[in-house]
Amino acid sequence: MSAMTERRLARTVRKACNRDARAFGRLYDEYADRVYAFVRSRTDSAQDAEDITATVFLKAWEAIGSYDDRGLPFAAWLFRIARNAVVDEYRRKAHRPVPVDEPIETGEVAEPTDVAVIAGADAERVRAVVRMLTEEQASVIAMRFWWDMSIRDTAEALNKNENAIKALQHRAVRTLARLLQEGEDDGA
Amino acid sequence: MVRDEKLLTDELTEAISGAAEPLSASARAKVRERVMHEVSATSRGGILVLASHRLAVAGTALAVGFGGVAYAAERSLPGDPLYGVKIAAENAVVAVLPPGRLENHVLVSIAARRAGEAATLAREGSGTDAIDEALGSLRKAVRDAAPAEGSLTTDEANRIRQRAADAPAETRDAIEQAVVPPGPADGGASGSETGGAPGTGTGGSPRSGSDDGSGGIPDAGADDSTGTGEPDSTSQQRTREGQGVSPTDTQSFEVGGSPDTERTREPDGGLRSK
């Protein structure tokens, strides 16, 4: 998904840290789709997702002067902002609390999942199922599959260790598979 | 039944990766405009431009006049008091341009400006440090104008070379090195591709000649899909006549022009147009 080399990204981030608007525009171009994809997976409407995406980048611009690339990777830093913006939006709209630790899956996934069902699931169906995941699971799915982030960077973004991320991803993927399967069974 | 975990992961990976909801092009542009409007206003360039407005107002009070300040800023060279205003104005314009042909055209024009400045400094007998600094700025501008993983096209390189055609030979060589950095494979734009020798202003496309001295940045808000990057002749005329041109006025902000080659420095350091 990334069109920018790491070296160029690092240079662009450094320039943006020095309040270089053009460099920040480049970062927008690089990350807008990813931010939107995550935000959209946690919001009800495309319009809300666009508004929150704009908010994410404006918050990033406000804070980028204090960003230190020797610490958090930029993607992880930006994802944190996106995640916080989503949580803020939930609170602002007085939605039910974001189910940070609320497990959707119940027990182990015991039944074998029909691979053909997963392979045949269209994007809209997968997105609908991602919306049913817990906030943490959805975050891991977004970072690992949509942002192409490493386990390590994902762990940094969520303030967890790498084993915890692996476990979270495993549960998220299992849950996704199960929900896709259930949807298929219900429709059958 | 034995579950094939590997197959399951691959199928899921593919299904999940392809499920990221895309941001439509129009929404992407709309959100970008919204974000960059705020960003530009509070960027280093934006703040400097704001400061330049105040400087210009003060200048008017001193009978220089806003237009005069802006005009002088446009013609300033590295080391001049108003040079920062010129750079800030460029940055402010570039910041709001959407990625694409128009932005690329403007960035190449800015690199050509830097080449013209280095050439003018060399012609005027400025110190080595000043010329080296100008060449450093040129290299940076070329990096900004070049694509992420490539180099300038021959036409783009020729546009930049043209602005330094009248530089002393040594400076012209240094500018050539900046425009086409020597590499292992020496790929990318090269004067030899079209037979256009460095600094001669020959070779390249028919467009390359028309860009020099005629370029105004088209409306920065223009749709890039329609923006050809061609100069705005009306604004160019306005600039040339020095009729109250603001450096922040993207309609009239001249990038492709050649003010650097048309002005000389007075012995006392002041600016004089030919």
Over residues B127-137, the pLDDT tens digits come to 888 888 889 88
Intervals of chain B under pLDDT 50: 1-4, 56-57, 60, 63-64, 185-274
Q: Tell me, what DSSP letter sits at residue B168?
A: -
Does the pLDDT of residue A163 top 90, yes or no? yes
Of A21, A34, A145, the CB nearest to B16: A145
Q: Which two tokens stand for residue B214?
A: 């005629």
Residue of A nearest to B6 (CA): A115
Does the pLDDT of residue A108 top 60, yes or no? no
Inter-chain contact A21–B31, Cβ cutoff 8 Å? no
Mean pLDDT of chain A: 83
Q: Which two tokens stand for residue B79?
A: 């080391």
According to DSSP, the residues that pair with B254 across neighbouring strands are: B216
Tell me the ipTM for this assembly.
0.84
Contact B110, B145 (CB under 8 A): yes
Of B15, B30, B92, the CB nearest to A118: B15
Query: Residue A7 class from Cβ within 10 Å (0-12 exposed, 13-18 middle, 19+ buried)?
Result: exposed
Structure confidence at residue B65 (pLDDT) = 53
Buried b (16+ CB within 10 A) or exposed e, A163-178: ebbeebbebbbbbbbb
Of A22, A24, A123, the CB nearest to B19: A123
The reply to whether A56 touches chain B by the CB within 8 Å rule is no
Give the pLDDT confidence of A1-57 residue by residue, as tens digits.
556 777 788 888 988 998 888 899 999 999 999 999 999 999 888 999 999 999 999
Inter-chain contact B20–A33, Cβ cutoff 8 Å? yes
Residues 6+ apart with CB under 8 A from B125: none
Inter-chain contact B19–A8, Cβ cutoff 8 Å? no
- CA of B46 vs chain A CAs: smallest distance (Å): 8
Considering Cα of B115, then B119, then B124, then B126, what sign does the dihedral take?
Answer: positive
Q: What percent of chain A has pLDDT over 70?
A: 81
Amino acid identity for residue B210 in this structure: S
Amino acid identity for residue A166 in this structure: K
Contact A156, A72 (CB under 8 A): yes
The pTM of the whole model exceeds 0.90: no
Q: Which two tokens stand for residue B183?
A: 């590499």
Q: Mutual orientation of helices B83-96 and B101-123 as an angle, nearest 10°? A: 170
Instruction: Give the residue among B39, B36, B98, B37 at the shortest CA–CA distance from A63.
Output: B39
For residue B171, how many other CB atoms are within 10 A of its CB? 21
According to DSSP, the residues that pair with B271 across neighbouring strands are: B265
Residues 72-131 of A with CB under 8 A from B: 112-113, 115, 118-119, 121, 123-124, 126-127, 130
Does the pLDDT of residue A114 top 70, yes or no? no
Helix H or strand E encompassing B241: helix B233-241
Structure confidence at residue B149 (pLDDT) = 60
Of B13, B38, B92, the CB nearest to A145: B13
The reply to whether A46 touches chain B by the CB within 8 Å rule is yes
Query: Residue B61 class from Cβ within 10 Å (0-12 exposed, 13-18 middle, 19+ buried)?
Result: exposed
Q: Which residues of B touch A60 (CB under 8 A)?
A: none
Inter-chain contact B92–A21, Cβ cutoff 8 Å? yes
Q: How far is the C-alpha of B40 from the C-alpha of B97, rounded, in Å?
A: 11
Structure confidence at residue B238 (pLDDT) = 35
Structure confidence at residue B4 (pLDDT) = 47
Structure confidence at residue A186 (pLDDT) = 65
